[in-house]
């Protein structure tokens, strides 16, 4: 049994877990499951709590939370000290973790907002919980490991993330938390969130283009994430709508 799975089972949250397996959880159940996973993760990772990257994560996070339409979520943003991992993920109920390695690609707050918007969108759509329920039904070993785990990267990086956090190796079948459909939805919703939060949505194009060149690509059918060309085409098709939101953003007057 996976160590993390064991920890979850031992530490309880049985109501949340049974809800999770049916794929139907109340917002309260999601929130308590996310909070519990957050506590466990915080014991395992080393956080950065000051400096420009930290300030950027907090700043972008609070602006995106303010336009999320879900003030009832307990939005939290953590910066994990791991310069080798260019990634981010979210736990149910809105606990976002960003790795310092992401700043190799996120050159400014707007580019960071593309990633945080994407992760917040997964949380808003409960993708983590639904995906865990699907995997549970499919009988995949270790499905609970992925509850709420979204990664703004490719499968290989997802594997690294799982490795880094849990110190265990992960196989490809093990690490596909979300469908490509969910990834595309997170890109689309994330784009609107960043625009509404006053970040130029064109930064999503620059970020995802740089990011897609990072690391080794796996064929799209093996990857949870859309092929870069599809991802960029989707974002481009939504750009007029996103730019309109950006023009109207309440945050623009503060700049």
Residues involved in catalysis: 119
**Nearer to Zn ion (CB atom), residue 41 or residue 249:** 41
126: contact with Zn ion by CB under 5 A: no
**Min CB(27)–Zn ion separation in Å:** 20
Rounded least distance, CB 202 to Zn ion, Å = 20
Whether the CB-CB separation of 154 and 118 falls below 8 Å is answered with: no
Q: Which residue is nearest to Zn ion (CB)?
A: 150
Residue 78 or residue 127: which is nearer to Zn ion going by CB?
127
Q: Give me the sign of the Cα torsion angle 195, 131, 175, 8.
A: positive
Q: What's the min distance (Å) between Cβ of 152 and Zn ion?
A: 5
Please check whether residue 133 is in contact with residue 140, taking contact to mean a CB–CB distance below 8 angstroms.
Answer: no
Contacts 24+ apart (CB under 8 A), 246-254: 246/195, 246/196, 246/198, 246/199, 246/200, 246/201, 249/195, 249/196, 249/197, 249/198, 250/198, 251/63, 251/197, 251/198, 252/198, 254/198
d(CA 197, CA 249): 6
Between residue 166 and residue 225, which ones bind Zn ion under the rule CB under 5 A?
183, 186
Quick check: 150 binds Zn ion (CB under 5 A)?
yes
* Between 183 and 196, CB nearer to Zn ion: 183
| Number of residues near Zn ion (by CB under 5 A) | 3
At its nearest, how many Å lie between Zn ion and the CB of residue 88?
9
Q: Which residues bind Zn ion (CB under 5 A)?
A: 150, 183, 186
């Amino acid at each position: 049994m996976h160590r993390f799975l064991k920890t979850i089972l031992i530490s309880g949250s049985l109501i949340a877990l049974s809800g999770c397996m049916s794929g139907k959880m109340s917002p309260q159940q999601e929130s308590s499951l996310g909070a519990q996973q957050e506590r466990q993760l915080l014991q395992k990772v080393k956080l950065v709590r000051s400096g420009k990257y930290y300030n950027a994560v907090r700043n972008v996070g609070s602006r995106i939370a303010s336009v999320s339409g879900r003030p009832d979520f307990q939005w939290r943003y953590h910066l994990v000290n791991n310069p080798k991992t260019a990634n981010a993920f979210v736990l149910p109920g809105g606990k976002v973790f960003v790795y310092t390695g992401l700043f190799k690609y996120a050159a400014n707050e707007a580019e960071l907002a593309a990633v945080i918007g994407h992760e917040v969108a997964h949380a808003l759509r409960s993708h983590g919980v639904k995906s865990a329920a699907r995997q549970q039904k499919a009988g995949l070993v270790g499905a609970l490991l992925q509850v709420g785990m979204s990664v703004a990267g490719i499968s290989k990086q997802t594997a690294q993330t799982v490795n880094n956090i849990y110190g265990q190796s992960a196989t490809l079948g093990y690490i596909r938390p979300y469908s490509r459909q969910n990834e595309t939805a997170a890109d689309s919703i994330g784009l609107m969130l960043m625009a509404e939060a006053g970040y130029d949505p064109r930064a999503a194009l620059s970020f995802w283009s740089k990011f897609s060149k990072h690391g080794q690509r796996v064929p799209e059918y093996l990857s949870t994430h859309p092929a870069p060309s599809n991802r960029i085409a989707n974002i481009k098709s939504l750009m007029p709508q996103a730019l309109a939101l950006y023009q109207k953003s309440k945050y623009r007057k503060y700049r």
